[in-house]
Each structure stands twice: as C-alpha cells, then as structure tokens.
Structure 1
C-alpha cells in the first residue's frame, strides 16, 4: 500500500464531499448522546461554512492510487467564530490571542485505519497549525461515542478540558510547550 498525501486548495474542496458526508454518518453511528443532531450535518452545512468563516484553511487528502481514503481539515479562525447560536465552544477569556487553530475534521476510511495514516495526517496538520506565530491555542472537538478518536488525540498530547451540549462534544486543547508546537513554530 503506497499512500500519497496531497494538500488541496479550497477551490477543490468538492473532492472530499462524499468522504465528509461519510464522516457525518460515522459520527452519528458512534453517538450515544443525541445522535439526531447529526441529521442536518453534511458537507454543505459543516465543511463549507467552516471554510468560509476561517481566516486560513488547510486540507490534506491521502490517496491509495486514485482513491481518496482519508483527509484532515484544519483552520485558523477568529476566536469569536466559536461563540455562536449552536454553542460556546470554549471560555473566550481563556484565549489571549485574537485567533485560534482548530483541527476541525479528520477521517480515514475503514480498512485504512491502524496503518499509521492518521499519525501522518495529524503531524502534517499540527505542523501547519503551529507554523503561525499568531496561534497559541489549538482546539479539537470530538463527538460523543468516538472513543478511539478521543484516545488518539490524548495520546498525541491534547487534554480534555470540558464537554459542551450536555456531553455531545468533548473539547480538547493543546498543552503549552508540546514538542510538536515548539518544533514547528516559524
């Protein structure tokens, strides 16, 4: 299995539309708390608005031959983006800078999990996020029931800070002075 990793421009985001919708179905299948919240979540309602509200976007796909088998999407956004009608994702006063980084979507097709692809995508995403001098805080939001993802991010040094929406989402935050943070800062 030879994987090919590619950074995709925002103009080509449609190439992951099916995979993003697969991620929403996967999250709903894992959810134990209000899985019906996922009924209205899709590429059009999650990915597109996120990209449009971000200051910077990063999308990397991984291919096995010509088939896309995984992707990671990160963004840099004004912190106020995370205080909206849906939820307040973190204590605004706890973030001293104007912008935050977010690992927003991360998905690998079944059959490709456990082969190290996730670690490569994660490291590339963190290298991009930590390359911005204006970013100190990086957040990851994990849907309830996705214990494998939660453990993955904790193993990578992120800490659970709290839950929102009555446990529907677990919020993880980077720990200051993590090695990937300092090594990748420009």
Structure 2
C-alpha cells in the first residue's frame, strides 16, 4: 500500500463522486429502517448541496497510488441548515452558537479498513473543525445498520444524542466546552 492523503478544494470535489455514491450504496445495504430513503441519495443530492450551503468545507481523499480508496467530508454550517423538509437533525435551541461542525461523510473501501485510515481521516477532520473558535457543537449522523461506524465514533469521544426519522439516523454529538 502506498497511501496518500490529499486535501481537496471545493472546485475539485468531483474526484469524490464515485466514493460518495459507494457510501450511499453501502449505507443502503446496511439499512434495516427505511432503506428506500437512500434511493435518491447520491453525489448530486447529498454532497453538492451540502458543500454549497456550508460556510466552510474540508474534504480529504485517500489514494493508494492513484486509486481513490476513501474520503472524509466535514463542514461548518449554520445550525439552521440541519432543519429541512427531510428532517430536523437536532434541537436548534440546544446549540449556543450560530454554527455547528459536522463530520458529514466518511467512507473507506472495505479492503482498506483496519489499517488506521479511518483514525487518520477522523483526526484530520477534528483538527480542522477545532480551529473554528465560534463552534462548540460537533455532530455526526450515522445511518441505521452501520454499527461499526457508530462504535468507532463512540470510541473517539462522541456520544449518542438521539435518533431521528424513526431510527433511520442516529445523531452523535460532542461539545467542545
């Protein structure tokens, strides 16, 4: 393995298209609550709108030589961005500041898991998120059935806050204060 981590600017996000679509298919394959909600989730409907609505974005892609094998996408967004027709992801009044940090998308091809890639990507994202002094609340949203991801984030210091959409998504939260 010859792993390289590359920070991707927003205007080059297209290189994450296939990985993002793989993530959506992976989540659907694990889901046992409303898997049909993933039918319309893909790069165009999830990643592009999120990047456009965020205040700041941070994307890291991992390549083995030139082959993309994983990525993480985090953002700083107005807390109101997490209340839509689809769902309200958390009680907006529980966030003191105007903005929240979110580790929004995280995917590693199966054959590259268990080599520390996830921890490296997670740590890079957390370091980036912590540079925003006005952001106290960090969120991660885990789809039902993805128990490995849920346990990974709990080991990293996040706590389960609540479920939304009848258990379709588990909301994890960490407060920096």
Range of TM-score over shorter length: over 0.9
Alpha-carbon distance in structure 2 between the residues aligned to 1:131 and 1:30: 34
Q: Contact between 2:136 and 2:175, CA under 8 Å: does it hold in 1?
A: no
TM-score of the superposed pair, with normalisation by structure 2 = 0.98
Alpha-carbon distance in structure 1 between the residues aligned to 2:120 and 2:176: 22
TM-fit CA distance, 1:175: 4.2
TM-fit CA distance, 1:170: 0.1
Q: Which residue of 1 aligns with 2:112?
A: 112
Q: 1:175 to 1:137 in 2, by over 3 A?
A: closer
Structure 2 gap ranges (5+)? none
Alpha-carbon distance in structure 1 between the residues aligned to 2:167 and 2:88: 13
Q: Which residue of 2 aligns with 1:62?
A: 62
Q: Which residue of 1 aligns with 2:171?
A: 171
Q: Which residue of 2 aligns with 1:138?
A: 138
User: After TM superposition, which residue ranges in structure 1, 4 or more long, deviate above 6 angstroms?
Assistant: none
Q: Contact between 1:101 and 1:137, CA under 8 Å: does it hold in 2?
A: yes
Q: Secondary structure at the match of 2:62?
A: strand
Q: Which residue of 1 aligns with 2:78?
A: 78
Alpha-carbon distance in structure 2 between the residues aligned to 1:130 and 1:144: 27
Deviation readout 1:88-140 (Å, 9 max, x if unpaired) = 10011110000000000000001001110000000000000011011100000
Deviation readout 1:43-95 (Å, 9 max, x if unpaired) = 00000000000000000011100011000000000000001101010011110
Q: Which residue of 2 aligns with 1:36?
A: 36
Q: Which residue of 2 aligns with 1:153?
A: 153
Q: Contact between 1:157 and 1:175, CA under 8 Å: does it hold in 2?
A: no
Q: Contact between 1:159 and 1:175, CA under 8 Å: does it hold in 2?
A: no
Q: Which residue of 2 aligns with 1:89?
A: 89
Structure 1 gap ranges (5+)? 178-186
Alpha-carbon distance in structure 1 between the residues aligned to 2:176 and 2:10: 30
